[in-house]
Amino acid sequence: MNRNLLFTVWTFFVITSVLEAKVYFVKQNTTGEGSSWEDAAGDLNSILDIASFGDEIWVGNGVYKPTQGTNRNISFRLKDGVKMYGGFSGTEKLLIQRNWRKNKTVLSGEIGTKALLDNSFSVVYMLNTSSETLIDGFIISDGCANQNGFIGQSRNSGGGIYINGAGIKQISNPEIKNCFFLNNFASYGGAIYNNAMNGGIANPTFIDCLFSNNQAEIDGGAFFNDGRVQGQADPVLRGCSFQSNEATFGGAFMNQGTGGEAHPILIKCDFENNVAYDKGGALFNLKKNGRAYITCDLCRFTDNIPLIKTIFEEENLAQLKEDD
């Protein structure tokens, strides 16, 4: 198939997807089919199952759980090209009318008992999602990926969101915007695990997000970025805040590029009161036969324990590196 024909097929696919795109409506304590606020669905996962590329999901304020049962493996699974917005009161006609700060929309892993240890492993799971995929305006809380196992498994990594682009020819580059990640726990990446290992690509974008009171038992209290084994993990975080997160290594952020590439770019991000029990109160960088480095542009570091070693360049551009 030549390039012109490929371009024509792709263009047709995109145009068709846009023309057929739908907006689904979800509201707490309703039983509709999701065609309008008056017919809103109450089960967010049922709408995620039927949504397709180009569709939007508008979610009203309230608390939503991946399951009403106790199966910890169940997450909210967002498909490629689906845009999911929270922060609606349930009467809006236009997206611009929502107020996501006022109308709090919570995706919660608090299933089973009130104890943390039986919560959902990952509240949200994203597999091979492109940059056309969006989560915007949610509080994502109380995930608990606490099972034993090798690093990067879905049961021990990414209590808030597990972004999976691992494997040859696999790509996951979603956008996460205006989200608060609160009180999530994992062995690796309390709130976020970004997985590009084994030849994959995972370059998500985070805009204006807050990471607070997340904890990792081992690495990356809020965020674990994994580009190991020929992976490419180059996320961009802009205007994000990391507050009071904890881990053994990398109280807020762990960057791991062993045998691959891991290059997060952090722009105007704040790191405050994060704690590492061993090294890297805010950031910890590990390369070991790979390329791992963190670019910080106009970032602020306040009262992180222990303090990281920072090399500042012109215009407050920092390249942060740790020895193997």
Please check the confidence at residue 316 and state whether its pLDDT lies above 60: no
Question: Rounded to whole angstroms, how far apart are CA atoms 206 and 175?
Answer: 6
Instruction: Please check whether residue 182 lies inside any domain of the structure.
Output: yes
For 56-70, what is the mean pLDDT? 97
Contact, 109 vs 76, CB < 8 A?
no
Contact, 249 vs 278, CB < 8 A?
yes
Q: Give Cα 290 to chain centroid, integer Å.
A: 24
Instruction: Please check whether residue 270 lies inside any domain of the structure.
Output: yes
Contact, 79 vs 53, CB < 8 A?
yes
Q: Give residue-wise pLDDT tens across range 135-162.
A: 999 999 999 999 988 888 889 999 999 9
Task: Please report the pLDDT score of residue 9 as a whole number.
Answer: 44
Please check the confidence at residue 165 and state whether its pLDDT lies above 80: yes
Q: Give residue-wise pLDDT tens across range 100-144.
A: 999 999 999 999 888 888 999 999 999 999 999 999 999 999 999
- In total, the chain counts a number of residues equal to 324
Q: How far is CA 196 from CA 29, 74, 105, 134, 270, in A?
A: 38, 22, 29, 19, 25
Task: Please report the pLDDT score of residue 307 as a whole number.
Answer: 60
Instruction: Please check whether residue 14 lies inside any domain of the structure.
Output: no
Greater confidence (290 vs 320) lies with 290
Burial class (CB in 10 A: 0-12, 13-18, 19+), 124: buried
Q: Which residue has the tokens 């024509």?
A: 8
For 258-284, what is the mean pLDDT? 96
Can you give the CATH number for the domain in which 190 is found?
A: 2.160.20
Within 10 A of 298 (CB to CB), how many other CB atoms are there?
12
Determine phi and psi for 296, rounding to 5 degrees. -115, 120
Q: How confident is the model at residue 4 (pLDDT cuts 50, 70, 90)?
A: low
Instruction: Please check whether residue 163 lies inside any domain of the structure.
Output: yes
Instruction: Please check whether residue 2 lies inside any domain of the structure.
Output: no
Q: State the pTM of this model.
A: 0.89
Contact, 110 vs 86, CB < 8 A?
no
Contact, 275 vs 308, CB < 8 A?
no
Instruction: Please check whether residue 13 lies inside any domain of the structure.
Output: no
In the chain, how many domains are there? 1
Please check the confidence at residue 12 and state whether its pLDDT lies above 80: no
The boundaries of the domain holding residue 145 are 22-320
Determine phi and psi for 90, rounding to 5 degrees. 110, 15
Greater confidence (38 vs 306) lies with 38
Instruction: Please check whether residue 5 lies inside any domain of the structure.
Output: no
Q: How confident is the model at residue 3 (pLDDT cuts 50, 70, 90)?
A: very low
Instruction: Please check whether residue 196 lies inside any domain of the structure.
Output: yes
For 29-35, what is the mean pLDDT? 96
What proportion of the chain, given as a percentage, has pLDDT over 70? Answer: 89
Q: How far is CA 121 from CA 100, 162, 173, 284, 322, in A?
A: 25, 9, 21, 24, 30
For 192-215, what is the mean pLDDT? 98
